[in-house]
Structure 1
Amino acid sequence: MFEISDTQKIGVGLAGFGIFFLFLGMLLLFDKSLLALGNILFISGLACVIGLERTFRFFFQRHKVKASISFFGGIIIVLTGWPLVGMLFEMYGFVLLFSGFFPVAINFLRRVPVLGTFLNLPGISGVLDKLSGDSDRTRV
């Protein structure tokens, strides 16, 4: 088992609040201030969880330059007053940046007791198989 430091616990909380404020900002018709607050909290939470150096290396890898420019460009566009356009850029960058994590997250969510039953339904399972890149998954 591994130890979780206090900084990592704070980072999980910051990232959680960041996602909450992003969701709330989109729910309230792309409120600029909530989206900006959510972006700042999410990035600072990510930096607390994995560390500043690893965060910097994650965003500025050679093969992720396009995704990072899109993600951070979307944040700048949100801050300048175009929240809808900025969130579109940001979502595109987010999908490109974190697409390697999607199969791990989907397989983890499939093992959660109640949610796993829902995610293994025939229609939903097919969509998730395409997202995770696991088209020939054996169903149990």
Structure 2
Amino acid sequence: MGFLTVSLLLFILGVMFFLDRALLVMGNLSFLIGLCLLIGVKSTLSFFLKKGKIKGSIFFFLGFFIIVFLRLSIVGFPLQIYGLFQMFKSFLPFLYDSATKLPIIGRYLRNPQLKKMVDEVSAKGPIRMRQINLILLLFDNLRNLLKILLLSKINYFICCNYQKLQIIQWKQNLDILKSQQIYRTSIY
């Protein structure tokens, strides 16, 4: 379990340091070693060679090969992420159900649209229709998120800058009054 934690940490650091090749390679190796130590070598091989996970395994090891031998982290890392997603997507409903039971963030994750999206991603069936529905659902969620962010930014601007706006308006009014005063004194 320690190697898997180290691999997650190294992956995060590798992304934070703009896809640093050395960190990503160490993360990959510690992931493979951790998986072998956790479930055994034979089970690890059977996991990667299962019929439903062969596509994900190909993408994962292709990304690993590109990172290590071709030194192209920017190409290999997205391939690895896609491969890991393909291998572990059947695990998403369990992970989602566990996350909804967490004390603080659980109530935010109990969203019917998010549940539907998790079910769509992890389900098996006609791929085209699932992908189209998933994309539409993602765009709908992104649109709602952007609305919330925009409204919160507007509210923040209004609340924090209200006094500044009043001062600017007051100064403008004062400038107008001064210019009118100067104009009046120059006429007389």
Q: TM-score range by the shorter chain?
A: 0.7 to 0.9
- Opposite residue 130 of structure 1, the aligned amino acid is M
Secondary structure at the residue paired with 2:105?
helix
**Does 2:67 align with 1:78?**
yes
Q: Where does structure 2 lack aligned partners over 5 or more consecutive residues?
A: 123-188
Aligned to 2:114: 127
- Opposite residue 70 of structure 1, the aligned amino acid is F
Instruction: Tell me the CA shift for residue 128 of structure 1.
Output: 4.2
Identity, % of aligned positions: 28
Does the Cα contact within 8 Å between 1:18 and 1:42 map onto a contact in 2?
yes
Matches of 2:89 and 2:33, distance apart in 1: 20
Residues 43-58 of structure 1 mapped to structure 2, 5 A cutoff? 43-58=32-47
Instruction: Tell me the CA shift for residue 131 of structure 1.
Output: 1.6
Matches of 2:34 and 2:115, distance apart in 1: 27
Matches of 2:50 and 2:91, distance apart in 1: 16
**Does 2:18 align with 1:29?**
yes
* Bigger proportion of residues as helix: 2
Structure possessing the higher relative contact order (Cα contacts under 8 Å, 6 or more residues apart): 1
Where does structure 1 differ by over 6 angstroms across 4 or more consecutive aligned residues?
none
Q: TM-score, normalised by structure 1?
A: 0.79
- Please provide the CA RMSD for this pair: 1.6
Q: State which structure, 1 or 2, has the greater radius of gyration over its C-alpha atoms.
A: 2
Matches of 1:33 and 1:23, distance apart in 2: 13
Matches of 1:53 and 1:110, distance apart in 2: 33
Does the Cα contact within 8 Å between 1:74 and 1:85 map onto a contact in 2?
yes
Matches of 2:30 and 2:11, distance apart in 1: 10
Instruction: Tell me the CA shift for residue 49 of structure 1.
Output: 1.3
Q: Deviations over 1:67-103 (max 9, x none)?
A: 1111111111111210010011111111110011111
Aligned to 1:15: 4
Q: TM-score, normalised by structure 2?
A: 0.60
Q: Deviations over 1:3-26 (max 9, x none)?
A: xxxxxxxxx111011011001101
Secondary structure at the residue paired with 1:94?
helix
The alignment of Structure 1 onto Structure 2 pairs a total of residues equal to 120
Residues 62-77 of structure 1 mapped to structure 2, 5 A cutoff? 62-77=51-66
